[in-house]
Amino acid sequence: MRTAGYGQSWPAAASALPRAVDYFRRRRELLWRMTLREVQARYRGSWLGPVWSLLTPLLLLGVYGFVFSVVFRARWGSDPQSSQADYILTIFGNITVFNLFAETVSAAPGLVVAHANYVKRIIFPLEILPVVRFLACAVNTGLSLAVFITATACMHGLSWTALLLPLTLLPLVFWTLGVALLLSALGVFVRDIGNVIGLLITMLLFLSPVFFPASNLPAAWQPLLHLNPLAGILGNFHRVMLEGLPPDWATLALTTSLGLAASVAGLCFFLRAKPAFADVI
């Protein structure tokens, strides 16, 4: 199948990923310019501008501190040595990771429709739109992670395993891009999907080990976590950043390989549906 206007022959799913990486690499300048424009658009007209990118995670950390330490007096798991401050730090890190997926995916169904002029009038690689959205969200995630890492270093110090954080988050990148590509294409044909996705993301937030450790679930419910790729990603994130342990390599390999498959499937679906966009929009 050919990508309109670029003459690129897209292979079958088995070999699509290397070609896709090269395809996006050669369009890195366009990706950079569009990502920068989206980040700037978020703060256009505001007094503080990009400062909000750093101020927001700091304010959230303060809110979590008040709600969970003063109101709920919560602790992470059953460890008697775990403090309320540890709980605040843990859920702040978990929500930061979860939000990269949630913010990208929640916007995906409306991306192509919102850029209808690219579909109808300009020869444009529409498949970069979900990637641009992901990169724009990753800017905020990176700043929030910087706050999290700084707070962790001040409270407990950092283990050498923190160096494995990028590897631990790699499957999150694949899963997020794959789901975003799939929903971006589906959103053209099924406009209601945006409302459904918002509800599903809220459900996923409370069904993932964001506010509680996976070990808190009854044994009968534990197998359900294996159906949620974010559970394994969050578990490994906690291990390398807060427990000083290397990731669970089996879980990392599984979530990464399935994430790769999801990203390839999402890309192939988007490209197969792309020729019909102009007929619907």
Phi, psi torsion values for 3, nearest 5 degrees: -85, 125
What's the pTM? Answer: 0.86
Query: pLDDT tier at 4 (50, 70, 90 boundaries)?
Result: very low
Residue 20: partners with Cβ closer than 8 Å, 6 or more residues away: 263, 264, 267
Q: Choose between 83 and 164: higher pLDDT.
A: 164
- Given a cut of 90, whether residue 72 has pLDDT beyond it is no
Element holding 104 (H helix, E strand): helix 84-107
Confidence (pLDDT) at 1: 39
Most confidently modeled of 34-43, 241-250, 270-279? 241-250
- Given a cut of 80, whether residue 264 has pLDDT beyond it is yes
Name the one residue in this structure whose structure tokens are 């599903």. Answer: 200
- Given a cut of 50, whether residue 13 has pLDDT beyond it is no
Confidence (pLDDT) at 16: 61
What stretches of 29-136 adopt beta strand conformation (E)? none
Q: What is the mean pLDDT of the chain?
A: 85
Confidence (pLDDT) at 115: 87
Among 15-19, 214-218, 269-273, where is mean pLDDT lowest?
15-19
Return the percentage of the chain with pLDDT > 70, whole number.
Answer: 90
Q: What is the spatial distance between Cα 232 and Cα 223, in angstroms, rounded to a whole number?
A: 12
Among 7-21, 71-85, 203-217, where is mean pLDDT lowest?
7-21
pLDDT digits (tens, 9 = 90+) for 80-115: 666 777 888 888 899 999 999 999 999 999 999 998
Confidence (pLDDT) at 78: 61
Q: What is the spatial distance between Cα 176 and Cα 162, in angstroms, rounded to a whole number?
A: 22
- Given a cut of 90, whether residue 12 has pLDDT beyond it is no
Burial 157-187, CB ≥16 within 10 A → b, else e:
ebbebbebbeebbbbbbbbbbbbbbbbbbbb
pLDDT digits (tens, 9 = 90+) for 224-240: 787 899 999 999 999 99
pLDDT digits (tens, 9 = 90+) for 114-151: 988 888 776 788 999 999 999 999 998 998 899 899 99
